[in-house]
Structure 1
Amino acid sequence: MEKVKAKKKYGQNFLKDDTVLSRIIQSMPKNNNHIVEIGPGLGDLTKNLVKCKDVTAYEVDTDLFTILKTKFATPIENGSLTLVHTDVLEAWDKQKSLHDSKYDLIANLPYYIATNIILRAFEDDACEHIIVMVQKEVAEKFSANERDKEFSALGVISKLCSKESRILFDVPPESFDPPPKVISSILYIKKDMSKKMDKDFNSFLKACFQQPRKKLSKNISSVVPKETILSLFEELGISDNIRPHEVSSSLYSQIYTKAIINGRKQNSTD
């Protein structure tokens, strides 16, 4: 087998553990959705995915793209694999969706853009399931519940926009070549397809969790006037001493609606 040196600039760690690969395949939902893979690397997961369904794989690295084209010449020829040589975030900017019909994102994601990719998948109307290998810390944030110390803006988004979000299992560093310095986890998310991610809400949440250990009222004052915060907290029964991780996703949604959206409407009628 060809020996390819992993490139740091692309955050490459090649998954080599067959047991882990099998468990990822077993966790796939039983449906007719297309599969999108981001960062197929040397194709260890890809070769398992194409046995199950048609796959579209996005690879930014020219060297790996060349290897994959040769290695998967038959599935590419028969149409079961579509290999796309591009930066996936640029692809999203251009076409809004990574596939023209409903798909599941199944991938070993590069750590440095994993959070960004998951958030973009939430915005992509065609994406239904997200089953991705990420740094354990990132997986914990997306699957955290209110009052967990890991609960952050990512947990709020996940709770509001998905029907299910959990860690399936952890993956040790030795399952990769080269081994990363952190433990990885397989994150499973089933999106609520009736919900739409609002980018302004995402920005609002960033402000709310800007200093996670400070009071929410202090953080939120950077985007909402203090007098509005006081009356809102009183109306919603929120203590002034509450910290960001102690507030439920539904309360964040209510605060945003009342303070930001209603505030916009008020300003437009003045």
Structure 2
Amino acid sequence: MIIDNLAEFASKKFGQNFLKNDIYLHKIIQAMPNDNLKVAEIGPGLGDLTKELVKVRNVTAFEVDKRLCEHLTTEFEEPIHKGQFELRCGDVLERWESGSLLDEPYHLVANLPYYIATNIILKAFKDEHCQSILVMVQKEVAVKFSASVTQREFSALSVLANSVGKATLCFEVEPEAFVPPPNVTSAVLLIEKNQSQDDKKFEAFLKVAFSQPRKKLFKNLISVFSKDIVNQTFEKLDLDTNLRPHEAETSIYHHIYNELKDNLDGKQRAKQPKQTSRSRAANTKKQKT
């Protein structure tokens, strides 16, 4: 398949921005962990990063765009024949529904579409076979995953990243390195995992804890949980009720979560949202009908 105009070929539906700068391609390869594990690449696009990856690793790529699958099958005919490259066409999220992305330990390396990048990273957190995540994402997302406690950017994503390992913002990439150029600055993020995190309740707890990042952590928590239980938890852990979400270490969030989880029976003791007169009237109308 011949592609005459990359900017016109790129699909907005799949958030495609093709990295066409050799300097950054080589920097991504240099940032990879130093071992011989297989690589899973999500969204190989035209195969520019893939060409560098197959020089050093066996690669399994996941591509959702059928047009690109046709291109990649032709472009990588020789590595496919040699068993260095495998292409799987379809939605990578559907593959994750049935378990690990690959059936053996691997590193995830990818230039991710911005609209799905966070979801992909969180999926990789849960995948026991995924040993590390080296991805190109929007700089803002990379900062949230890699921020340290006390930094204003420290977020629920930072806590999740710290819970599975170590996150590092490796380097930034200007829009001009892509075709077509995105409207934001990108960054390469490396997350070296030492364990997996697959607790949906913990993720939900963090959403509450960081629901209003500039307010006090205590107030965010009592918007959902019983004030008495939260107060007891803070006293037991010797925490200041004036503590703000970005000022609490990752370990503190795990301690608070474990205390609240132990003291709650599901949602029975959690605060229920207050009904307004309008919502009460709507419920009454539903009951009558």
1:192, distance to aligned residue in structure 2 (A):
1.0
Q: Which residue of 1 aligns with 2:221?
A: 220
| From 23, 26, 39, the counterpart of 1:19 | 23
Per mean C-alpha deviation after superposition, the further-off stretch among 4-13 and 111-120 is: 4-13
Looking at structure 1, the residues matched to 33 and 115 of structure 2 have their Cα atoms a distance apart, in angstroms, of 27
Cα contact 2:174–2:185 (8 A) shared by 1: yes
| SS of residue in 2 equivalent to 1:104 | strand
Instruction: Write the mapping of 1:20-99 to structure 2, written as runs, cut at 5 A.
Output: 20-93=24-97, 95-99=98-102
Cα contact 1:34–1:55 (8 A) shared by 2: yes
Matched, 1:114 2:142: no
Looking at structure 2, the residues matched to 113 and 174 of structure 1 have their Cα atoms a distance apart, in angstroms, of 21
| From 185, 189, 192, the counterpart of 1:190 | 192
Cα contact 2:66–2:89 (8 A) shared by 1: yes
Cα distance per residue 1:5-42 (max 9 Å; x no partner): 11111110000000000111111111121100000000
Normalising by structure 1, we get a TM-score of 0.94
Letter of the 1:37 partner, please give it. E
Looking at structure 1, the residues matched to 204 and 94 of structure 2 have their Cα atoms a distance apart, in angstroms, of 21
Cα contact 2:144–2:153 (8 A) shared by 1: yes
1:43, distance to aligned residue in structure 2 (A):
0.3
Instruction: Write the mapping of 1:194-209 to structure 2, written as runs, cut at 5 A.
Output: 195-209=196-210
| SS of residue in 2 equivalent to 1:10 | coil
Letter of the 2:243 partner, please give it. I
* C-alpha RMSD of the superposition: 1.4
| From 106, 129, 137, the counterpart of 2:132 | 129
1:197, distance to aligned residue in structure 2 (A):
3.2
Q: Which residue of 1 aligns with 2:242?
A: 241
Normalising by structure 2, we get a TM-score of 0.88
The verdict on how the C-alpha distance between 1:31 and 1:261 changes in structure 2, with shifts beyond 3 A counting, is farther
Q: Which residue of 2 aligns with 1:154?
A: 157
1:226, distance to aligned residue in structure 2 (A):
0.7
Cα contact 2:229–2:263 (8 A) shared by 1: no
Matched, 1:10 2:11: no
Structure 1: unaligned runs, 5 residues or longer: none
Per mean C-alpha deviation after superposition, the further-off stretch among 256-265 and 61-70 is: 256-265
Cα distance per residue 1:197-226 (max 9 Å; x no partner): 312101110111111112212211243211
Identity %: 51
Pairs aligned (count): 263
1:261, distance to aligned residue in structure 2 (A):
3.9
1:2, distance to aligned residue in structure 2 (A):
2.3
